[in-house]
Amino acid sequence: MQDTHLQRHTGEAEPLHVLFVDDEQDILTTCQAFFRSRNPHACIHTAASGKQALELLQTHRVDVIVSDYCMPRMNGFELMARVREMRPEVPCILMTAYTDVELAMQAVNDHEADAFLVKPVDPEQLIQAIQYAATSKGVEPVYN
């Protein structure tokens, strides 16, 4: 079953749709470049805030979300809680500049984070985490 998802996401006909959320434009650009270099056919969306991410989620297909934790107005946990309500099947990866045990435990225990990446994010780890999240969660493509 996992293989079919793998084929679905790596095949050119079914590109992976990833949403990066960060209030820092530099990080968005870097993440996008990392991921694009390995997955030239991926469909990448970016949002500068949680609010913008939720709007995108309502109108676009999104298979995986990679969000910063520390953002003004809506932090990464608040965004993930809203995503869980709207689209519980979408895996969420959290990025943060803080390596705090409480934060890491909250991410996994209370917010079901699929991965927890510490900034500066290692490109290999980012790519691996996205691909693992997409294939292991059995993401169903959504067509609008």
Partner 1 sequence: MDRPTATAAPKRSCLQQETILLVDDEPDILQTTARFLEKRLHHVNVLTAASGPEALAVLQHHPVTLVVSDYRMPKMDGLEFLDAVHRSHAKMPCIMTTAYSDANLAIRAVNEGKVLHFFTKPFEAEELAKVVGGLLWKTVQERARDAAAQHAVGMVDAPGVV
Residues lying near partner 1 in the complex (CB under 8 A) are found at: 1-2, 99-101, 103-105, 107-109, 112-118, 125, 129, 132, 136, 138, 141, 143
Q: What is the closest distance, in whole angstroms, from the C-beta atom of residue 66 to partner 1 in the complex?
A: 13
Shortest distance (Å) from residue 50 CB to partner 1:
21
Reported as type and span, the H/E element at residue 135 is: helix 123-136
Minimum distance of partner 1 from residue 91's CB (angstroms)? 11
What is the smallest separation between the CB atom of 75 and partner 1, expressed in angstroms?
18
Write the DSSP symbol of residue 6: H
Nearer to partner 1, 18 or 129 (CB): 129
Convert 112-128 to b/e letters by CB count within 10 Å (16 or more is b). Answer: ebbbbbebebeeeebbe
SS3 content of the chain, % helix, strand, coil (to 5): 45, 15, 35
Nearer to partner 1, 58 or 141 (CB): 141
Looking at the Cβ atoms of 72 and 88, the one nearer to partner 1 is: 88
- Hey, how many other C-beta atoms are within 10 angstroms of the C-beta on 50? 25
